[in-house]
Structure 1
């Protein structure tokens, strides 16, 4: 698992992190992981599967409509690309 070192963190920031971790019942390291996860993977991010399902609901597609799309698909395997 990757590790990250944070240099030149002010004493005030480190103290605030320790206090915040204590309030949440976590170690300072666990609190930092939680903060970073929340920053880069916010819960309100759009998830492709959920978005596609919502589009289908909004379009009021029935199972028969989806079946028609499936039947009309070209099922021929794609040819691999060559770069020669």
Structure 2
């Protein structure tokens, strides 16, 4: 089995690990192994493209037709302070 050293862990993290280990009735080292096993065995989150995420967020917001695409149109900058 491999070994790993993790340095510079905040005191609050160490305290939390100790508390969790105590709740489970095992050592802090076993608690860390348990957390790492769970993290590695979970399926990765689905990666959706930004446009799909934006579309999903605003689905049902009342837009009934697709927005026109803007090709080769210049956009004038805003003028502030006039």
- TM-score between the two structures when normalised by the length of structure 2: 0.50
User: Could you list the runs of 5+ residues in structure 1 that have no partner in the other structure?
Assistant: 46-84
Q: How far off its partner does 1:41 sit? A: 0.9
CA distance in 2, matches of 1:14, 1:30: 13
Report the counterpart of residue 40 of structure 2 in structure 1: 40
For structure 2, the residue ranges without an aligned partner over 5 or more in a row are 45-82
Distance 1:31 1:16 in 2: 10
Q: Helix, strand or coil: the match of 2:12?
A: helix
Distance in 2 (CA, whole Å) between partners of 1:35 and 1:12 is 17
Q: Where do 4+ consecutive residues of structure 1 move more than 4 Å?
A: none
Give the distance between the partners of 1:28 and 1:21, measured in 2 at CA. Answer: 5
Distance, in Å, in 1 between the alignment partners of 2:25 and 2:10 is: 22
Residue 7 (str. 1) matches residue 7 (str. 2): yes
Matches within 5 A, 1:21-40: 21-40=21-40
Aligned length: 44
| Higher helix proportion | 1
